[in-house]
Amino acid sequence: MIPKSIRGRIQIWHTTLLTVIVAVLLTAFYLNQGEILERELDARLAAPIANMIPQFMPPPPPEVFYGGTPPLTYDRYPMHRVSETPQERRQRFEIQVLTHLDPRLYLAVLDGEGTINYASQNAPSVIPAVDDRPFRPNEHALILRENGNNREAIHVGPRGYNLVIGGSKSIIYRELARLRWILSIVGLLIVVSGHWIGWWLAGISLRPIGDITETAQKISTGDLSHRINTADTESELGAMAEVLNETFDQLEDAINQQIRFTSDASHELRTPISVILASCQYTLLRERDSETYRDALQTCEHSAQHIRRLVDALLELARVDSGEFELIKTQADIADAVNPSVRMLKKLADEKSITLYVGAVTCTGMFDIYRIQQVLINLLSNAIKFTPEGGKISINVGTQLDNCLIMVKDSGMGIYPEIIPRLFDRFYRTSKNKRIADKTNTGLGLAITKAIVDAHGGSIQVESEVGVGTLFTVTLPRSEPASLQDLST
Amino acid sequence: MRALVIEDEAHLRKTIVATLREEGFAADHCEDGEEGLYKALNWDYDVILLDVMLPKMSGWQVLEAIRAEKETPILMLTARDGIQDRVRGLNQGADDYLPKPFDLLEMVARARAIARRSFGRGNPVLTLNNIEVNTASRTITKDGELIELTAREYAIVELFALKKDEVVTREYLYEHLFDENEDSLSNMLDVYIYKLRQKFGKNFITTLRGQGYVVRSNTSA
């Protein structure tokens, strides 16, 4: 059965492959070694022959002797010493030849008819003769052959003499058997150690995967603070781990943002609810005069209105989040949105003696004009809120390339640079502006404004100087990109 | 008992102060953290009701700054009711934590309880010889009989009961009985003391000339 784990599968492949390679290599080595041993034996067999050949040379021609003592070289012709008996010759031969021969080898001499002239004691009983006919007369030839369990080197001499030196192949067999043992053990050791090294290496290289899995599991249980340790992962897995970590970061951010949003939303709702609850409870504690009742009802109404604004804004944002936020785009002129917005907020501005400068020019395009008006009202009411008495606010609409620009500039308190990046966050209010904004502000106006501008494929920028004023610039594309068109239809 | 309400939501602040006053507290109020801290450090309040989300200075900062100098009982009021927020509040030295929206009477009861504990009293019924002061129902009985008292008279007796056998200075009484808007003429106190002596007997309150008053637990009224 093939295990499901990568490590197990790697291991099986690794071990199988290692075993095959080791087996092939060791077998080849073994076979080669067998051949070498055979050749060594052959060489051992053939070597004495070279030394012995002279002793089997034909006798010198008789005319060399002129009587008297034979020359010293006579000894080189042992087989033909005239004056010795076969017994003596045999003894001399054994002394001269066999003493130099490896005792494990045997020696035999066969004559032309194939009769064994001489055989050492350890020689096998059957030693077939070699036919000398393929050879030319007086030619020396060395033949190697098998004889039963023995290997023999045969010197085929002149006149059909065979000088046979043989040796048992059991030496080789023993040697090979020993080699087999050694090789088996070596092979086993290599495979076993290779197996464990492979297991270990696979473990090391797969450990990051284990770490990643472990971290992912921890995260899946809801603890988002965990991250994969990328310090000691291999480069390939390290890259993956980093990508995963980034994903986890984003996930954590998104979830934290969601948590914060929910918590902020509940906080924002609790405040007016606690006002209503406290007023009602206080008023109902005992009999009150009519003015107290009226006060309480006004307070409740005010808080309920605030709750309604909050709920509306929350619903709007929920629509944005769920992708149900739809624009109804028509061919429209931005300037048409400016005038109603200004009319609507004129009274509010007048209360603070703020002068509104409207410098609208036409800029037509495909817009959801009611949403654009919402943007304008949001920006304008914010501007009025944060501009002191007697200040100035200007609203301008312009064209820039394929975009419409809406610029709302105030001479208000300005926004601190560190706040600007978070300005469009939901419920983001600084303690500095909270006091002014709290009355009617939901804390969601700018988030919704941005959502509307984003839905139009536009952008919104803020430039501000503390104590001088703020400029909001909304850039809206007049002709929307194809992809956005697809989305809106 | 004098309370300070630090809450930026005007309607809520108004209601809380009105309720506290009806429940016998002298109550001051302010709408931002800075002013709240100033008052908390400059007057001797029996309890402070502190909102967390405040302009200028957050409730956490105010809490920390008060705790650096004073042990005034503090009840945190906040719309953030996460466990972490509560734990944080209590860990930073708040005495109690009340999440919004809360019940007004619960708020009063908690404020009263932590104030009472700051005097070392856990029992809501304070005994002073044959007099029993029920801080929950704000009634006083003498030998088991209910004594009719005005709110201010009750507040004075309650203070004496909390500080029995201790010398209570006239300044202490003024600071703990009247809020910052009340015109605290010195003879007002004399009038109250006179009336209490009429109701509880001549020896109930002993005047220590130049020091103040003391109510002794061993003197039978």
Note whether B96 and B114 are within 8 A (CB). Answer: yes
DSSP result, A41-87: HHHHHHHHHHHHGGGGSPPPPGGG--SSSPPGGGGG-GGG-TTS-HH
How much is the pLDDT for B184? 64
Segment holding A31, helix H or strand E: helix A6-52
Flag if A263 and B18 touch (Cβ within 8 Å). Answer: no
Flag if B100 and A281 touch (Cβ within 8 Å). Answer: no
Among the listed residues A275, A91, A357, the one whose alpha carbon sits nearest the alpha carbon of residue B100: A275
Segment holding A264, helix H or strand E: helix A235-285
> What's the rounded mean pLDDT across residues A435-443?
59
**Contact residues on chain B for A286, CB-CB shorter than 8 A:** 22
pLDDT at B98 over 60: yes
Q: Quote the CA–CA distance of A474 and A376 in Å, as a whole number.
A: 10
Q: Which of B57, B58, B102 sits opposite A274 (nearest CB)?
A: B102
* Tokens representing residue A183 in the block: 């090789």
pLDDT at A57 over 50: yes
Among the listed residues B47, B2, B29, B17, the one whose alpha carbon sits nearest the alpha carbon of residue B155: B2
CA atoms lying within 13 Å on the CB side of residue A11? 19
Percent of chain A residues past pLDDT 70, beyond the cut: 83
Q: What is the pLDDT of residues B121-140, one digit of tens each?
A: 888 888 888 888 988 888 99
As a CATH number, domain B2-118 is: 3.40.50.2300
Note whether B115 and B136 are within 8 A (CB). Answer: no
Count of CB atoms situated within 10 Å of the CB of A116:
16
User: How many distinct structural domains can be found in chain A?
Assistant: 3
A438 phi/psi in degrees, rounded to 5: -60, -35
Flag if B101 and A279 touch (Cβ within 8 Å). Answer: no
Pair A401, A449 in one domain = yes
Pair A197, A345 in one domain = no
Enumerate the domain spans of chain B. Answer: 2-118, 125-214
Note whether A388 and A412 are within 8 A (CB). Answer: yes
> What's the rounded mean pLDDT across residues A64-82?
49
The alpha-carbon gap from A282 to the nearest alpha carbon of chain B, in Å, equals 6
Among the listed residues A192, A196, A230, A193, the one whose alpha carbon sits nearest the alpha carbon of residue A7: A196
Note whether A54 and A97 are within 8 A (CB). Answer: no
The answer to the question of residue A342 being in a domain is: yes
> What is the ipTM for the molecules in this complex?
0.81
A110 phi/psi in degrees, rounded to 5: -115, 140
Expressed in percent and rounded to 5, the helix, strand and coil fractions of chain A are 55, 15, 25
The answer to the question of residue A145 being in a domain is: no
How much is the pLDDT for B18? 92
- Among all residues of chain B, which has the CA nearest to that of A281? B104
The answer to the question of residue A91 being in a domain is: no
Pair A366, A444 in one domain = yes
Pair A286, A334 in one domain = no
Q: What is the Cα A67 distance to its own chain's centre?
A: 100
The answer to the question of residue A147 being in a domain is: no
Per-residue exposure over A140-179, b if at least 16 CB sit within 10 Å of its own CB, e if not: eeeeeeebeebbbbbbbbbebbbbbbbbbbeebeebbeeb
- Among all residues of chain B, which has the CA nearest to that of A299? B11
Pair A292, A333 in one domain = no
Pair A314, A197 in one domain = no
Pair A305, A451 in one domain = no
Q: Which residue type, as a one-letter code, is found at position B131?
A: I
B39 burial level (CB within 10 Å; 0-12, 13-18, 19+): middle
Q: Quote the CA–CA distance of A410 and A397 in Å, as a whole number.
A: 15
Among the listed residues B16, B7, B10, B14, the one whose alpha carbon sits nearest the alpha carbon of residue B111: B16
* Tokens representing residue B178 in the block: 């009247």
Q: What is the pLDDT of residues A106-139, one digit of tens each?
A: 888 887 777 887 788 888 888 887 776 666 666 6
Q: How many residues comprise chain B?
A: 221
Domain span at A302 = 235-318
Local structure of A436: helix, strand or coil: helix
Q: Quote the CA–CA distance of A374 and A188 in Å, as a whole number.
A: 82
Q: Which of B81, B99, B104 sits opposite A282 (nearest CB)?
A: B104
Pair A291, A336 in one domain = no
How much is the pLDDT for A68? 53
The answer to the question of residue A313 being in a domain is: yes
Segment holding A260, helix H or strand E: helix A235-285
Count of CB atoms situated within 10 Å of the CB of B19:
21
Q: Quote the CA–CA distance of A361 and B6 in Å, as a whole number.
A: 49
Pair A335, A470 in one domain = yes
As a CATH number, domain B125-214 is: 1.10.10.10
How much is the pLDDT for A54? 63
Pair A313, A331 in one domain = no
Q: Taking chain B, what is the end-to-end CA distance rounded to the nearest angstrom?
A: 24
The answer to the question of residue A229 being in a domain is: no
Q: What is the pLDDT of residues A382-432, one digit of tens each?
A: 888 888 888 899 998 888 888 889 999 988 888 888 888 888 888 776 544
Binned at pLDDT 50, 70 and 90, residue A20 comes out as: very high
Q: What is the Cα A334 distance to its own chain's centre?
A: 54
Q: How many residues comprise chain A?
A: 489
Q: What is the Cα A216 distance to its own chain's centre?
A: 16
Note whether B141 and B147 are within 8 A (CB). Answer: yes
Count of CB atoms situated within 10 Å of the CB of A460:
20
The answer to the question of residue A282 being in a domain is: yes
Note whether A477 and A485 are within 8 A (CB). Answer: no
Beta bridge partners of A163: A109, A155
Q: Which of B9, B15, B103 sits opposite A271 (nearest CB)?
A: B9
pLDDT at A286 over 70: yes
Pair A406, A438 in one domain = yes
Pair A200, A289 in one domain = no
Local structure of A474: helix, strand or coil: strand
**Token pair 């080898």 is at which residue?**
A105
Q: Tell me, yes or no, if A434 comes closer than 8 A to chain B by beta carbon.
A: yes
Q: What is the pLDDT of residues B48-76, one digit of tens each?
A: 999 988 888 888 999 999 999 999 999 99
Flag if B15 and A431 touch (Cβ within 8 Å). Answer: no
The answer to the question of residue A137 being in a domain is: no
